[in-house]
Structure 1
Amino acid sequence: MIILPAIDLKAGQVVRLEQGDFTRKTIYSNDPLAVARQFSDQGAEWLHLVDLDGAAGQGKNFSLIKQIASQTELKLQTGGGVRSQADVANLLQIGVERVVIGTLAVKNPELLQKILIEFGSESILVSLDARQGKIATSGWLEESDQDLVDFAIKIEKLGVKYILYTDIGRDGMLSGPDLIGLGKIKEATDLKVIASGGISSKADLYRLAERNFYGAITGQAIYQNKINLKEILTELGD
């Protein structure tokens, strides 16, 4: 299973939010590049990098993402505010390995399909962020009426290969992943699923690995020293 440490960027800082609430923010570092290098030194091959300013429509941290891509050996999985083919192209051009698409996939599935055709399914990951089984968009500020599993089935038919599922209610809360929701997606599709939200311990990661999930993202647990990244990468890392 791929283990992806997470960096959330807001105003050039490394932060974590509770349940996606921008008013419940903890700042962990003013030097995102140093944090990324630390993850790399501990053995990480991938980094999950989210531009929270872009997701909320408040500008982007593009130059910082470019710096991390060019000055580390990490493979970047990056999203936040990706709204067009040009946004995807720009991120891929600076060295991002896989672009994360969220709101666009919900609001404009036709454009999502065009992006998949143009850039290939290996370069695209769709983020399914949900509250109580319903998809949320726009940096989790808006809710839709789309059912989580139905939407997963829909985008698989469009050609999506990779998805990231986050239970917003668990994100940043260290309450454990939503194994039920994750299991429903896995049972209903052949998508490669990355789990996110609520991971609090090594035991949570083992549970996901035992269920053969493609990957898992952990942020808060690393920053609060509840997970030793180097240790878990040695034990579980793919």
Structure 2
Amino acid sequence: MKIYPAIDIKGGKCVRLLRGDANSEKEYGDPVEWALHWESLGADWLHVVDLDAAFTGEFVNKDVIKEIVHRVKIPVQTGGGVRTKEDIRARIEDVGVSRVIIGTMAVEDPSLITWAKGEYGKDRIAVGIDAKNGKVLTRGWVQDTEVDAIELAEKMRALGVNTIIYTDIMRDGTLSGPNVENTRKMVKNTWINVIASGGVKSIEDIVAVRDSGACGVIVGTSIYEGTIDFKEALKARK
């Protein structure tokens, strides 16, 4: 299982939000320095989100993410506001990320997933499924839908998607523990790569996600607030 340090960027700064609420942000400084820091501790992937793009659709933090990609030697996956072919091209061709995360369009226009997979290959594309009480939220987690998260995962599998990033919104940033039960259900219903996100606080949480069958876990608030030692987390991934 891989462990992905999260670098959420808003206004050019590394921040953390509580349950995705834009008014709850806490700043942690320079995202590029954090990227280099996590790489130096042994991270083999980075999970970078442009929060401004998620809320507005505009790739506001493109230059910062491009600097991260060019400064680190490890692969970077990025999401936030990826809603058109041009958005995908900008991230893969202009910025050079290894994997683009598509969330909203998995619900609103699944044909974009098919196009992206055909254009760049399934390993360059992930689908972000962000759920609250089992239902998917879109457009920066502000648009409610009646789409069931696990049913959407099954549809994405049918489209040939290789990787899903499943976030429990109610747990994100709360340090209240991950939704292991739903992560396990998603793994068993799809048997594709599931990366779990939201609520991870401890090494025990990482072990629980690992044992659910997930191929990865995203850690954010826990590593910035020090409830998890990142080097110790890496030891727990196998």
TM-score (norm 2): 0.96
Q: Within 5 Å, which residues of 2 pair with 1:82-97?
A: 82-93=82-93, 94-97=95-98
Aligned counterpart, 1:232: 233
**Paired residues, what number?**
236
Q: Which amino acid aligns with 2:37?
A: Q
Give structure 1 regions of 4+ aligned residues with deviation exceeding 6 angstroms. none
Aligned counterpart, 2:23: 23
Q: Which amino acid aligns with 2:22?
A: F
Q: Deviations over 1:151-195 (max 9, x none)?
A: 111111011110000010000000101011111111111120000
Q: Which amino acid aligns with 1:136?
A: L
Give the 3-state SS of the residue equivalent to 1:56 in structure 2.
helix
Instruction: Give the Cα–Cα distance (whole angstroms) in 2 for the partners of residues 66 and 55 of structure 1.
Output: 17
Matched, 1:32 2:7: no
Output the aligned Cα RMSD.
Answer: 1.1
Give the 3-state SS of the residue equivalent to 1:69 in structure 2.
helix
Aligned counterpart, 1:163: 164
Instruction: Give the Cα–Cα distance (whole angstroms) in 1 for the partners of residues 193 and 182 of structure 2.
Output: 14
Aligned counterpart, 1:48: 47
Q: Deviations over 1:99-118 (max 9, x none)?
A: 01001111001122111111
Instruction: Give the Cα–Cα distance (whole angstroms) in 2 for the partners of residues 211 and 137 of structure 1.
Output: 25
Aligned counterpart, 2:205: 204
Q: Which amino acid aligns with 1:38?
A: H
Q: Within 5 Å, which residues of 2 pair with 1:171-182?
A: 171-182=172-183
Q: Deviations over 1:103-158 (max 9, x none)?
A: 11110011221111111110001000001100000000101110111111111101
Q: Which amino acid aligns with 1:36?
A: A
Instruction: Give the Cα–Cα distance (whole angstroms) in 2 for the partners of residues 88 and 237 of structure 1.
Output: 30
Residue segments in structure 1 that go unaligned for 5+ positions in a row: none
Q: Which amino acid aligns with 2:184?
A: G
Instruction: Give the Cα–Cα distance (whole angstroms) in 2 for the partners of residues 22 and 171 of structure 1.
Output: 13
Matched, 1:121 2:122: yes
* Cα deviation, residue 211, structure 1: 2.6
Q: Deviations over 1:181-212 (max 9, x none)?
A: 11111111112000000000111001111233
* Cα deviation, residue 237, structure 1: 4.5
Percent identical residues: 42
Aligned counterpart, 1:221: 222
Instruction: Give the Cα–Cα distance (whole angstroms) in 1 for the partners of residues 116 and 71 of structure 2.
Output: 27
Aligned counterpart, 2:136: 135
Instruction: Give the Cα–Cα distance (whole angstroms) in 1 for the partners of residues 74 and 51 of structure 2.
Output: 20
Instruction: Give the Cα–Cα distance (whole angstroms) in 2 for the partners of residues 7 and 199 of structure 1.
Output: 15
Q: Which amino acid aligns with 2:56?
A: G
Instruction: Give the Cα–Cα distance (whole angstroms) in 2 for the partners of residues 167 and 62 of structure 1.
Output: 26
Residue segments in structure 2 that go unaligned for 5+ positions in a row: none
Instruction: Give the Cα–Cα distance (whole angstroms) in 2 for the partners of residues 12 and 211 of structure 1.
Output: 35
Give the 3-state SS of the residue equivalent to 2:16 in structure 1.
strand
Instruction: Give the Cα–Cα distance (whole angstroms) in 2 for the partners of residues 237 and 198 of structure 1.
Output: 17
Inter-CA distance 172–87: structure 2 relative to 1 (3 Å threshold): same
